[in-house]
Amino acid sequence: MSNNSMPKKNPLSFQLDLSKWEKASAAEKEQQIVERESVTFFKDGMRRLWKNKVAITCAFLLIFIIVAVIVIPMVYPYTYSQQLGVAQKGQVPDSSYNGLKPMEYGATEQARIAAGEKIFPHLLGTDDLGRDYFIRVVYGTRISLSVGLFASIIVLIIGTLYGSISGYFGGKIDLIMMRIVDIIYSLPDMLMVILFSVVFQQTLAPLIEGTFFEKLGTGMISIFLVFALLYWVSMARLIRGQILSIKQQEFILTAKALGAKPARIIRKHLLPNCISVMVISTALQIPNAIFTESFLSFLGLGVSIPMPSLGSLASENLSYIYSDVYRLLVPALTICVIVLSLNLFGDGLRDAFDPKQKK
């Protein structure tokens, strides 16, 4: 049937007379297409994040710090545990290396410079035991960052598992699981952390002897254990809440009707929909963990010597507040910068990917 052929028209009818209309040409049709690609959730969030200048600045600052703490120890001529005054094992340390001010050299080094050799300067001097302080700060930053990251990942894994099981099954299981969470949540966390750290430091040493964990030291393992025991509860609550609301939606019912097993539904349908919440709260958990680690290290419960962390460096050098204050300020301000930029970046992530949560 051609377009122009119309059934016989009643003169009183309001029916359109197509003969009076012209068909659009291909070029005209093209014009009508709205020139915008469909935007995925991720792209949309990234666009919003990119507009947030503060968050992006912080992200670059963090990337810079991370790259720096990875690269610098590779190229720096001194190591964090090397006592520069001790040239050979068993030798009496050369005390001229202890407590150097920034850019100063020890006695043998000065002799070598006088002989025309070039020696890499000690950017921040050395500490009491003649260890290069700059590399200790770099290494301390590396340790603090990795403690923060790993502790948050532990929290993420346990919290997600617990929260999704509790949220998905609901009913009595949920009730019991959430009561447990309530109780752990109401324990005063910092006090428990201190207590657990005291005990773990004493009990773990024989357990981990000779294994890979011995290298990490009891202090760091006890921090991880404490996070695994206590800090997952808020993550579990968050995930449970998300699961509860997503569970009501039709696509879950469909999956169930098609015979999907609970594990598959949780893994393939529920958790992917929680990813933004998970990423955001992990990002905000990292500064928290760094905070806790530095607090514990400051109390003398953190990483084991000779390993430095920012908190233990600040604590060790507290007594230099009257003479060499830079030794205290450098690690202290590094903690501030890292925690601040992680916080701001996390806030930016939240605003970009989960605008509903915005405070």
Partner 1 sequence: MDKKFLYYILKRAVLAVITIFLVITITFFIMNFIPGGPFMSEKSVKPETLAALNAKFGLDKPLHEQYFNYLKGAVKLDFGPSMKMDGRMVTDVIMEGFATSAKMGLIAAAGALTLGLIFGSLAAVYHNKLIDRIIMVMSTAFVAMPSFIVATLLLWLLCVETKIFPANGQSAGGLVLPIVSLMLYPMAYTIRLTRSSMLDVLGQDYIRTARAKGVAPSKVLFKHALKNAVTPVITYAGPMIAFILTGSLVVEKIFAVPGLGKYFVSSIINRDYTMIMGTTIFLAIIVVVMMLLSDILYKLFDPRVDLS
Q: Which residues lie near partner 1 (CB under 8 A)? A: 182-183, 186-188, 190-192, 194-196, 198-199, 202-203, 206, 287, 291, 294-295, 298-301, 314, 318, 321-322, 325, 328-329, 332, 335-336, 339-340, 343-344, 359
> Which C-beta is closer to partner 1: that of 216 or that of 314?
314
> Which C-beta is closer to partner 1: that of 94 or that of 174?
174
Token pair listed for 82: 């090397």
- To the nearest whole angstrom, how small is the minimum distance from the Cβ of residue 315 to partner 1? 8
* Peptide bond between residue 306 and the one before it cis (omega within 30 degrees of 0): yes
Token pair listed for 179: 């009561």
Task: Write down how long the chain is.
Answer: 359
In contact, 164 and 270? CB cutoff 8 Å: yes
- To the nearest whole angstrom, how small is the minimum distance from the Cβ of residue 156 to partner 1? 22
The C-alpha atoms of residue 256 and residue 170 are separated, in whole angstroms, by 15
Q: List the alpha helices (DSSP H) in the chain.
A: 26-32, 41-51, 53-75, 107-114, 133-169, 171-186, 189-207, 212-216, 218-226, 232-247, 250-257, 262-264, 275-298, 310-316, 326-353
In contact, 102 and 122? CB cutoff 8 Å: yes
- To the nearest whole angstrom, how small is the minimum distance from the Cβ of residue 253 to partner 1? 26
> Which C-beta is closer to partner 1: that of 73 or that of 241?
241
**CA torsion, ordered 170, 161, 346, 191, to nearest 10 deg:** 90
> Which C-beta is closer to partner 1: that of 244 or that of 255?
244
> Which C-beta is closer to partner 1: that of 166 or that of 222?
222
Q: Which of 276, 321, 322, 314 is nearest to 295 (CA)?
A: 314
- To the nearest whole angstrom, how small is the minimum distance from the Cβ of residue 180 to partner 1? 11
The C-alpha atoms of residue 131 and residue 88 are separated, in whole angstroms, by 15
- To the nearest whole angstrom, how small is the minimum distance from the Cβ of residue 10 to partner 1? 56
> Which C-beta is closer to partner 1: that of 150 or that of 326?
326
The C-alpha atoms of residue 176 and residue 174 are separated, in whole angstroms, by 6
> Which C-beta is closer to partner 1: that of 119 or that of 195?
195
The C-alpha atoms of residue 311 and residue 131 are separated, in whole angstroms, by 17
> Which C-beta is closer to partner 1: that of 76 or that of 196?
196
- To the nearest whole angstrom, how small is the minimum distance from the Cβ of residue 162 to partner 1? 19
Q: Hunting for tokens 């006090």 — which residue is that? A: 191
- To the nearest whole angstrom, how small is the minimum distance from the Cβ of residue 39 to partner 1? 28
The C-alpha atoms of residue 269 and residue 192 are separated, in whole angstroms, by 36
- To the nearest whole angstrom, how small is the minimum distance from the Cβ of residue 148 to partner 1? 13
